[in-house]
Amino acid sequence: MKTALITGITGQDGSYLAELLLAKGYRVVGVVRRSSTTPYERIAHLVDRVELVSADLLDQTSLTDVVHETQPDEIYNLAAQSFVQTSWTQPVLTGEFTALGVTRMLEAMRKAAPKSRFYQASSSEQFGKVIETPQRESTPFYPRSPYGVAKVYGHWITVNYRESFNLFAVSGILFNHESPRRGLEFVTRKITDAVARIKLGLQHELRLGNLEARRDWGFAGDYVDAMWRMLQLDEPDDFVIGTGETYSVRDFCVAAFGAVDLDYLEYVKQDEKFFRPAEVDLLVADPSKAEQRLGWTPKVPFAELVSMMVAADLARYQRQR
Ligand code: NDP
Ligand code: GDR
């Protein structure tokens, strides 16, 4: 039986990855940080089947101890301060978690389990300002937020540890991926949650920022499979993961409100508060390397993703009633 260690197991991707690895027969160990409450809502259905261990991305000792005690075959480093907007109000903390946290995890592996395989959760935010489209592995990085800058660091330190210490360390440059488990502050889930509430008469408007930003949105359940495939390669390498299609925030509103026969124009208001100091205008992936080398393709198209998320939010509020 293989052992996988997942940092960020309580997050959106961690929960889907844990499900995938359990289905493959792995022993799954998840890192959680100490809190006075234990609201592990995304993995509530898995808590009897995964082992949870306490460590923090800010604390080298706890990370090294966890890797030493677990002796994982595979390490998935998903933990991060992942909300771009917050990276402008907490830039130093974002750097500590999202950039230096990667070095701490790599050091933990190098010292305590150097034969393990390491996955780093890199991001399309590293591409930032449009230099070429679609964005591929060779596209230069030009991040536009403290989060994006931190992820560029995490990406290059992973490459550097691979080359310096001959570690099996890969970086998956994943474009936006969403699901009914997406955090409520991210724009897709903010929209689908509001659509459900508006449909049920619980809310009357939705305030958003830039409606023209374009993203390549896929389904998180598909993307964790790409992470696993990267760690099964003979040689470590980095991959872009996305759908190859791009839609605007406005397109997402049209589809989500349309799914319950509403017109978004009657409810969506623009609010300066949600605009960003610097924006990423257009992201669209070229996932052809992943298709060829990993045999990976996304399964859930945009329209299905939107209706899945709207249906889940509607069902949740209807249950609460
Ligand atoms: P989430 O925000 O849903 O989850 C983040 C996870 O990190 C949570 O489990 C959180 O724990 C944990 N975490 C945060 N800080 C610490 C810390 N100091 N110590 C230990 N754990 C910590 O993110 P996603 O699941 O959406 O994303 C997973 C990873 O992939 C992130 O690194 C993200 O930046 C990256 N990414 C995501 C993309 C996406 O579209 N979803 C695209 C590309 C990259 P807690 O529950 O305690 O807060
Ligand atoms: P992103 O996701 O920044 O791409 O990062 P987010 O959903 O926050 O924003 C997407 C786009 O929507 C615009 N937008 C708004 N965004 C939010 N959150 N709230 C609003 O009200 C709003 N109105 C418009 C934004 O300006 C932006 O252009 C996500 C995260 O998961 C990262 O961790 C990950 O690395 C990248 O995706 C790939």
Which ligand approaches the C-alpha of residue 97 most closely? 1
- Taking the C-alpha atoms of residue 92 and residue 268, their distance in angstroms, rounded to an integer, is 33
Mutate to test the pocket of ligand 2, among 215, 224, 270, 283 (most ligand atoms within 8 A of CB): 215
Question: Alpha helices, DSSP H only, in 2-136?
Answer: 12-23, 60-70, 86-89, 91-94, 101-112
- Amino acid in the structure at residue 298: P
93 alpha carbon – ligand 2 mean position (Å): 19
pLDDT tens string 64-89:
999 999 999 999 999 999 999 999 99
Structure confidence at residue 38 (pLDDT)? 77
Structure confidence at residue 321 (pLDDT)? 84
Catalytic: 147?
Answer: yes
DSSP single-letter state for residue 82: -
Catalytic: 125?
Answer: yes
Does the pLDDT value for residue 170 go beyond 90? yes
Tell me if domain 3-177+218-241 and domain 183-215+245-284+300-320 are identical in fold. no
Q: Of 286, 308, 310, 169, which is closest to residue 238 (Cα–Cα)?
A: 169
Mutate to test the pocket of ligand 1, among 40, 53, 76, 78 (most ligand atoms within 8 A of CB): 78
Cα–Cα distances (Å) from 13 to 27, 77, 80, in that order, read 17, 11, 11
Domain definitions of the chain by residue range: 3-177+218-241, 183-215+245-284+300-320
As beta bridge partners, residue 288 has: none
Q: Mean pLDDT throughout 249-269? A: 98
- Taking the C-alpha atoms of residue 213 and residue 283, their distance in angstroms, rounded to an integer, is 9
Catalytic: 123?
Answer: yes
Q: Whose CA is nearest to atom 38 of ligand 2?
A: 176
Which ligand approaches the C-alpha of residue 186 most closely? 2
- Taking the C-alpha atoms of residue 166 and residue 159, their distance in angstroms, rounded to an integer, is 10
Does the pLDDT value for residue 53 go beyond 80? yes
84 alpha carbon – ligand 2 mean position (Å): 7
Measured from the Cα of 8, ligand 1's closest atom is: 9
Task: Tell me what ipTM this predicted complex has.
Answer: 0.99
Which ligand approaches the C-alpha of residue 81 most closely? 1
Does the pLDDT value for residue 96 go beyond 90? yes
Average pLDDT for the chain: 98
User: Which residues line the pocket of ligand 2, CB cutoff 6 A?
Assistant: 82, 84-85, 123-125, 175-176, 185-188, 190, 208-210, 213, 215, 249, 274, 276, 279-280
Q: Whose CA is nearest to atom 9 of ligand 2?
A: 187
Structure confidence at residue 138 (pLDDT)? 98
DSSP single-letter state for residue 99: I
A 10 A CB-CB count for 34 gives 10
Of 16, 147, 161, 264, the catalytic one is: 147
Architecture of domain 183-215+245-284+300-320: Alpha-Beta Complex (3.90)
Q: Which helix (H) or strand (E) holds 172?
A: strand 168-174
Report CA torsion sign: 180, 182, 185, 191.
negative
User: Which residues line the pocket of ligand 1, CB cutoff 6 A?
Assistant: 7-8, 10-14, 31, 33, 56-58, 78-82, 97, 121, 123, 174, 176-177, 183
Q: Whose CA is nearest to atom 29 of ligand 2?
A: 176
Report percent pLDDT > 70 for the chain: 100
Q: The domain 3-177+218-241 belongs to what CATH superfamily? A: NAD(P)-binding Rossmann-like Domain (3.40.50.720)
Who's near 283: CB < 8 A, 6+ residues apart?
Answer: 124, 127, 135, 175, 176, 214, 215, 216, 242, 246
pLDDT tens string 97-145:
999 999 999 999 999 999 999 999 999 999 999 999 999 999 999 999 9
